[in-house]
Chain A
Amino acid sequence: MSHPRPAARRFLPLSAALALALSGVQTAAAQTTLSALFMKQAAYSEADVRAMTAAFQKANPGIVVNLEFVPYEGLREKTVAAQASGGYDVVLFDVIWPAEYAKNGFLQDVTGRVNKADVPKIFPGAWTTVQLGNRYYGLPWILDTKYLFYNTAMLKKAGIGAPPRTMEELLAQARIIKQKGLARYPIVSSWSQAEALVADYTMYVSAFGGQFLDAAGQPAFNTGGGLRALEFMVQTVKEGLTNPNSREYLEEDVRRVFSGGQAAFALNWTYMYALTQDKKESKVVGQVGIVPAPGARGGAKVSAVNGSMGLGITAGSKNPDAAWKYISYLTSRPVQEQYAKLSLPIWKASYSSPAVTRGQEAVVKAAGASIGAMYPRPVVPQYQEVSTILQKALQRALLGQVSPEAALDDAARQVAALK
């Protein structure tokens, strides 16, 4: 996942929390001090994490947690580089990193600490975020996938009764909307040369029934569904259905364009829903529909990408017990339900709790179908290199420099050559 940063107003309570954290430091001498690394983005805002942590410290007077926030783009580099100094006890990690972290002995194996009774209560898709083989390297915290957001008013004007359930329908509806001049570019996506692009591609791969690697671990995305996924993406650009600026957009740009009423369809993470319903942030309040991203004829029924994140304990941590306590607290059901507006809980039972569903029934309904379909990005230790290769190949095809087939063949060759 690569959640965009929140608008600045959402970290307004920061200095208050900061003051609180600082005052905590002064009395920390006799206590256990943890340092934790989070990201400064939207799923849980910085203020949310500070509030959760303050509550945790209140409940556990012996433990003080120092918090650091970096943008998503710097999270992994910071985590890795800090290992030299034995930096953090608790780190937030993206679903694509545990393979690498585990291989390099960077995260503690917490299989023994996981409460076996909890395992069936949490979505399997969430568990895959922190699992490698049958070992656990943390607890899932943010459960997320991309959804299809649509502008209900625009669809109504276009005479479209229901949002698309397949990619073919999406194409047809987008064409109608473009023809009727309701939106110059009906679809907007985050296809900048960044992880966001690979997340979108993964979603399309899952729709068209493709796979990244075959059973032997060799690249397979350049054939079948993987190829059709990119061909579809390129087609929407060529027809002028996807906003051409998508090729320099990240998620926040997608939100801005969609919230400005300039697009009929957008693919984005859960967090966008609440913000499209905020008058200060959006011109389309009350006109936003959210459904699982479409499947494809002959492919999947719905499509989704696993964009979850987990919390782990670093190998260098001197206070693994306190760290585990902290992680367990943040991922616990009551805390997750309290902050369910921007990030849905990992707990199955939460989805029938009114505290979670109220005001976001549509999201919860879409999640019901999407969470089961979350498709993983390639689980390999050199994920970062695979992603970099893919990002470039996808962009070259989207920019019309090479055909989708040539781009993916080239990428497959490079991925196969990785050591």
Chain B
Amino acid sequence: MRFPPHAPARRRLEGVAVHLLALLLALVILTPVVWLLISSVSSTADLTSLPLRWWPGTPDLSRYAALLSVAPGSPGAAFLLALRNSLLVALGATGLSLLVAIPAAYSFSRLPGRRAGLLYAVLATYMLPPVALVLPLYAVLARAGLLNSVYGLALVYCTILAPFATWLLKTNFDAVPLEIEESAQIDGLSRWGVLGRVTLPLALPGLSTAAVWAVLLAWDEFFYALLFTSTTSAKTLPVAIADFAAGRAVDYGLICAAGVVAALPPILIGFLLQRGLLSGLSAGAVKG
């Protein structure tokens, strides 16, 4: 936004205000997370001392050692398995969902026919509360032997991710100028060819946005994971962490450390793909 050139004093004042507000925003965002970090490296004595000690006497990294050690005799075994499971489920579900969502999104965007209603139906399934599906899904997974399996869970997540990705990709495809496609078609490319060689590369930011959102959604999911996985070989991080905290175990530091480790991958992904996240969303969002 432009400042009127004739008001330098006011402009400086506004500048100060903007910086102060930005600082406030950063504090609001960072304080809880920083406290989580500090708690994870504070000794239990520091955490439970009154009045509260805001800074640990000596940093205590033992929880991270415990969580990240594969050595026999550490809780890391179960935790790292959950980390692996979460990775497998999130990446598997995302890959599969994008695979089915890309052509569907293209079809909705470029060959709508009279299928707009269908698009909204697909989108509507994304918002269905999982409680409405969970009992029959449980029975189906049980019969297929896919309970307590990362593959089973990944398949279930497709029911969430595929409609969502279809919708997001469709809005992104809409933003790709038609003229480019038209000339490609005149050059003899089929619809599949146009999708693969023209539209998709142009909509790459949107694709990465969809992928990141899908990974974040899958990484985050708790309800299905809680009910469909109970063994360490399939349990995902949210469930493992909720287990940690379920009986309100005394070692708050360990819970916090587990939280930090579980939060790192999505936050890193978010940071790395930040540009795509923003631009992809904006391209998708203009049309709504």
Contacts and interface: CB of A to CB of B under 8 A. Distances in A.
A–B: direct contact at CB < 8 Å: yes
Interface of A: 3-9, 11-16, 18-19, 40-41, 68, 70-74, 77-78, 81-82, 84-85, 87, 250-253, 255-256, 260, 281
Given A15-B76, A16-B73, A70-B230, A252 B138 contact: no
A281 B244 CA distance: 17
Interface residues of B, number: 31
Contacts of B247: 3-5, 41, 71-72, 250-252
Interface in B227-271: 227, 230-232, 243-244, 246-251, 254
Interface in B67-81: 70-78
B75 A5 contact: no
Nearest to A72: B247
B251 A8 contact: yes
A8 B66 contact: yes
Contacts of B48: 256, 260
B273 interface: no
A14 B250 contact: no
A5 B249 CA distance: 6
Interface of B: 48, 66, 70-78, 138-139, 142-143, 145, 147, 226-227, 230-232, 243-244, 246-251, 254
A21 to B, nearest CB: 10
A316 B138 CA distance: 17
B73 A12 contact: yes
Given A8-B75, A16-B72, A78-B230, A71 B250 contact: no
A12 B52 CA distance: 29
Contacts of A3: 247
A87 B243 CA distance: 21
Contact of A15 (B74, B226, B244, B254): B74
Given A5-B247, A12-B73, 15 more contacts: A8-B66, A14-B77, A15-B70, A15-B72, A15-B78, A41-B247, A68-B230, A70-B243, A74-B226, A74-B230, A85-B142, A85-B143, A87-B147, A250-B248, A251-B247
A252 B250 contact: yes
Contacts of B78: 14-15, 18
Contacts of A8: 66, 75, 244, 249, 251, 254
A255 B247 CA distance: 12
Q: Which secondary structure characterizes the binding site on chain A?
A: helix
Contacts of A7: 249-251
B248 A85 contact: no
Nearest to A83: B142
A227 B138 CA distance: 42
Contacts, number: 85
B248 A81 contact: no
A84 B139 contact: yes
29 contacts: A5-B243, A5-B246, A5-B247, A7-B250, A8-B66, A8-B75, A8-B244, A8-B251, A11-B75, A14-B73, A15-B71, A15-B73, A15-B77, A15-B78, A16-B73, A18-B232, A40-B243, A41-B247, A70-B230, A71-B247, A72-B246, A72-B247, A77-B227, A78-B230, A84-B138, A84-B139, A85-B147, A251-B247, A252-B248
Contacts of A251: 247
A66 to B, nearest CB: 8
A89 to B, nearest CB: 15
Contacts of B142: 84-85
A14 B248 contact: no
B246 A73 contact: yes
A81 B227 contact: yes
A173 to B, nearest CB: 25
A13 B74 CA distance: 7
A260 B48 CA distance: 9
Q: Which of B48, B142, B254 has the most CB of A within 10 A?
A: B142
A366 to B, nearest CB: 24
A17 to B, nearest CB: 9
Nearest to B249: A5
B212 to A, nearest CB: 31
Contact of A253 (B73, B246, B248): B248
A144 to B, nearest CB: 15
Contacts of A84: 138-139, 142
Q: Which of B48, B66, B78, B143 has the most CB of A within 10 A?
A: B78
Contacts of A87: 147
A419 to B, nearest CB: 20
A41 B249 CA distance: 10
A74 B71 CA distance: 29
A11 B249 CA distance: 13
